[in-house]
Each structure stands twice: as structure tokens, then as C-alpha cells.
């Protein structure tokens, strides 16, 4: 199962960082593989909130629907699953004296017959995750521009 973990220190408060990261409609701001993203429901983001992301990978675009599986004061878990893939993104925030430590743990699992593609999937996923991590650092890192 391909997995990517990134930790970023931000001067933002844990609440600001978690609110920003919980709103997956903002993913195109930090993840260059996300072509489009939109919220599928309304109101405050909570358990059950849904987002649709169009992701470009290996020259193809794929629509993924994510649901907030859990949301607490220090973490959010977003899950997307189809007959071919399951993606679980766990985002946690930890207060630091001068801001927040953001930990983003993304796991991708091929399902069904797609499991034979796991080695190729892992290569593509690592590249996408590296680009997303760079985007997160630029957006939320010490000099990032969250909220702009």
C-alpha cells in the first residue's frame, strides 16, 4: 500500500490549520495534481461532509469523492473509495510554542483487480505526494499564505 507522510511547521494556530485542511475544496491551492475541487454539501464542515476532486495523474484525470470520516479538535480523516482505489488521508495538528506542527498521512490502496498495478501506483503516488508536500509547505509553512 503506497503511503506518504509529511510534517510541516506553520506559524498559524492549530485551529486555523485544521480548518484550512478540512476544507478539501481548497486542495487545488496546494496540490498541483488536483485540477478541480468542490464541496458537495453545505454548512459547517463536519463528519459526513463531502467533496469531489478531479485529479490528474499519469496523463489521465479521475474524479474522486471524499467524505469526512471523522473530525475532531486536532484531526480530520478523509476517505475516498471506489471499486479500484481507496484513499485515506489523516491530517493532525499539534500545538507548538510558535505555531503548529501539521502531519499529513496519505495512504492509497488498490482494490480488486487493480492490485496488480500497486508497484506502478506507488511510483506515481510518490511523485504526486512530493508535489503536494511542496505545495503545502509553500501554502502553510513558515512563510506560507493561508487565508489569502
Q: Could you report the per-residue pLDDT of 4-60, keeping only the tens digit for each?
A: 788 999 999 999 999 999 999 999 999 998 999 999 999 999 999 999 999 887 788
Is the residue at 148 inside a domain? no
Question: What Cα–Cα distance (Å) separates residue 78 from each residue in 11, 47, 125, 126, 146?
Answer: 24, 9, 17, 19, 20
Look up the domain containing 35 and give its range.
3-140
Question: Could you tell me the pLDDT band of residue 107, with boundaries at 50, 70 and 90?
Answer: confident
The CATH number covering residue 63 comes to 3.30.530.20
The answer on pLDDT for 121 being more than 60 is: no
Is the residue at 107 inside a domain? yes
Is the residue at 145 inside a domain? no
Threshold 0.75, pTM exceeds: yes
Domain count, the chain: 1
Which distant-in-sequence residues (6+ apart) come within 8 Å of 49 by Cβ? 22, 39, 41, 43, 67, 68, 71
Q: Could you report the per-residue pLDDT of 84-93, keeping only the tens digit for each?
A: 778 899 999 9
Amino acid at each position: 500500500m503506497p503511503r506518504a507522510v509529511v510534517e510541516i511547521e506553520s506559524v498559524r494556530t492549530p485551529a486555523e490549520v485544521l480548518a484550512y485542511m478540512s476544507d478539501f475544496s481548497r486542495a487545488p491551492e496546494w496540490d498541483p495534481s488536483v485540477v478541480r475541487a468542490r464541496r458537495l454539501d453545505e454548512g459547517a464542515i463536519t463528519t459526513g461532509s463531502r467533496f469531489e476532486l478531479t485529479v490528474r495523474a499519469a496523463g489521465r484525470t479521475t474524479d474522486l469523492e471524499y467524505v469526512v470520516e471523522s473530525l475532531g479538535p486536532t484531526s480530520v480523516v478523509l476517505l475516498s473509495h471506489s471499486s479500484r482505489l481507496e484513499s485515506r488521508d489523516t491530517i493532525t495538528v499539534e500545538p507548538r510554542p510558535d505555531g503548529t506542527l501539521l502531519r499529513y498521512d496519505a495512504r492509497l490502496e488498490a482494490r480488486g483487480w487493480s492490485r496488480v498495478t500497486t508497484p506502478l501506483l506507488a511510483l506515481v503516488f510518490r511523485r504526486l505526494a512530493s508535489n503536494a508536500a511542496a505545495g503545502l509547505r509553500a501554502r502553510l509553512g513558515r512563510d506560507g499564505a493561508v487565508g489569502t
